[in-house]
C-alpha cells in the first residue's frame, strides 16, 4: 500500500477508484465498501484509493465536543486499510483553512493529482465549504473532471446502518461484545506499559498499567475479560480493570491488566488489549480480603470465558 500525506505528492497516473471519509474504526460498513471498491477496481483494471483526514473534521470544526473518542489512531487505521487490501492511502491534515475549500476546488485538486474514474460515496456524503459537495454536486463536477459517481448503500445489521457513532456509544456503555459485532473484530486499545503503584503485585495479581493515547476512546469503567498482545506473545488471556480504584480512594482513571500465568516485565513496551466481554462494574470493597476474593472470581470467570473464544 502506498501512503501519502498530501495530495500534491500523490500524482497517481493509473486509473483509480476513490472514496473519501474519516473511516474511524474501519467497521463492517467500511469493510464492505472497501470490498466493493476492490471488486470494481478489478473489473476496470484500476487501483483503489482512500482520502482520509486527521484530525477528523468534527474535531476541528466543533472543538467544544469530545476529542478523545477516536476508535483508532492514524497508525491503527493505516494498518487496517492495508489489511483489507487498499492500494493507496492519502492522509490529509484537516485545518480550519482547509475547511474553506470549495467542493469544486477540492475535486479539481484531487483530479489534477489522481486519475479518478469512479468516486464512491454514501447517500448522505458531503464535502467542501458549507458541506456543499453532496452527491448531486459531485456528479455534476464529474462531468467536468471525467469521473462517475457510484452511491454506496448503507451496510445494515438488524435493519440499522453500522456507524462509528453507534460503536462509540456501545463502548461508552461497556458493551464490548456488541461493539465487536459491528467492528468485525474485538475492540482494542494499544498503549505503552508504565509503572504504577504495584499494589496488584503485593496482592498476588501483578498488573500491566496501560497508558493509552490521549485521543483514543477507552471503554466504560468496569472489569473485562481481555486478550493481551505483547511484543513477544500474541493473545494472552487476561482480565482488565478500567476505573479509579475506589477501594484505594483513587481519582485517576487507569487501565490495569492482569495477564494469566505471565511473569515478564513489560515496562516501556507496547501492549494491545482486545476487549472480549464486560464482567462487572467497578465497586468499592470493604477490605483487602473481600477485594481479593472478587479478583479470584473475576480471574476464574475470565479464564472460562476466554477458553471458549475463537477469532
**Residue linked to cell 482512500:** 50
Label residue 294 exposed, middle or buried (CB < 10 Å: 0-12, 13-18, 19+): middle
Closest CA relative to residue 213, chosen from 54, 60, 61: 54
Specify which residues 255 forms β-bridges with.
Answer: 242
215 is catalytic: no
- Extract the runs of DSSP E, i.e. beta strands, from the chain: 2-4, 12-20, 47-53, 88-92, 114-122, 148-152, 156-157, 160-161, 188-194, 208-211, 222-229, 236-243, 254-259, 270-280
Where would I find the H helices in 116-257? 135-145, 164-172, 176-183, 199-202
Residue 114, classed as helix, strand or coil, is strand
Residue among 76, 118, 256, 274 flagged as catalytic: 256
What are the catalytic residues?
A: 256
Amino acid at each position: 500500500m502506498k501512503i501519502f500525506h498530501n495530495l500534491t505528492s500523490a500524482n497517481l497516473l493509473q486509473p483509480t477508484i476513490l472514496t473519501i471519509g474519516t473511516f474511524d474504526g474501519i467497521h463492517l460498513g467500511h469493510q464492505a465498501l472497501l470490498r466493493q471498491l476492490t471488486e470494481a477496481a478489478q473489473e476496470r483494471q484500476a487501483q483503489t484509493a482512500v482520502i482520509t483526514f486527521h484530525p477528523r473534521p468534527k474535531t476541528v470544526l466543533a472543538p467544544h465536543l469530545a476529542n478523545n473518542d477516536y476508535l483508532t489512531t492514524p497508525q491503527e487505521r493505516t494498518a487496517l486499510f492495508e489489511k483489507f487490501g487498499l492500494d493507496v492511502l492519502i492522509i490529509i491534515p484537516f485545518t480550519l483553512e482547509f475547511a474553506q475549500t470549495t467542493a469544486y476546488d477540492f475535486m479539481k485538486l484531487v483530479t489534477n493529482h489522481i486519475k479518478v474514474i469512479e468516486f464512491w460515496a454514501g447517500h448522505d456524503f458531503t464535502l467542501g465549504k458549507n458541506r456543499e459537495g453532496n452527491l448531486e454536486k459531485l456528479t455534476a463536477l464529474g462531468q467536468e473532471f471525467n469521473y462517475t459517481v457510484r452511491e454506496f448503500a448503507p451496510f445494515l445489521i438488524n435493519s440499522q446502518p453500522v456507524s462509528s457513532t453507534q460503536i462509540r456509544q456501545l463502548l461508552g456503555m461497556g458493551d464490548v461484545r456488541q461493539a465487536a459485532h459491528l467492528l468485525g473484530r474485538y475492540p482494542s486499545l494499544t498503549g505503552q506499559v508504565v509503572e504504577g503503584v504495584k499494589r496488584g503485585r503485593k496482592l498476588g495479581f501483578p498488573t500491566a498499567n496501560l497508558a493509552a493515547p490521549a485521543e483514543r476512546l477507552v471503554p466504560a469503567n468496569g472489569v473485562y475479560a481481555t486478550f493481551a498482545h505483547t511484543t513477544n506473545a500474541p493473545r494472552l488471556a487476561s482480565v482488565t480493570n478500567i476505573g479509579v480504584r475506589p477501594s484505594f480512594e483513587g481519582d485517576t482513571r487507569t487501565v490495569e491488566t492482569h495477564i494469566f500465568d505471565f511473569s515478564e516485565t513489560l515496562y516501556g513496551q507496547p501492549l494491545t488489549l482486545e476487549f472480549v466481554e464486560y464482567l462487572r462494574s467497578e465497586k468499592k470493597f470493604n477490605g483487602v480480603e473481600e477485594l481479593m476474593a472478587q479478583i479470584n472470581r473475576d480471574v476464574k470467570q475470565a479464564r472460562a470465558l476466554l477458553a471458549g473464544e475463537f477469532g
